[in-house]
Amino acid sequence: MNLLLESVLFGFFGGIVRILVGILKLKHSAEFRWPRVIITLVVSGIIGAFAALFVSTDYRLMLLAGYAGTDFIEGIYKIVKKKSFLSNE
């Protein structure tokens, strides 16, 4: 299979796995909304695919890059959200 296509697919899958782990944590939470879950799945898959392009040497690294890339973006979002909350006080 084409290395570029493999990177995108494995990275996309890694991003999806990351969000599924998050969904399992939120399963019983009041914040669980299906439209948001679907959007998050697609976006995290795209982020994971992009992150995997940087390490297109081994499928395990591609999966990890997809997982970590999504986690990285989520961490930045939480920092920005917290910062904007603190600046409004």
DSSP 8-45: HHHHHHHHHHHHHHHHHHHTTSTT--HHHHHHHHHHHH
CA atoms within 13 A on the CB side of 20: 9
* pLDDT for 7: 81
Looking only at Cα atoms, what is the longest distance across the chain? 53
* pLDDT for 85: 62
Q: Tokens standing for 58?
A: 């081994």
Q: pTM to 2 decimals? A: 0.66
* pLDDT for 23: 77
* pLDDT for 16: 82
* Mean pLDDT in order along the chain per 10 residues (89 residues): 80 81 73 74 79 78 80 76 66
List the chain domain ranges. Answer: 3-87
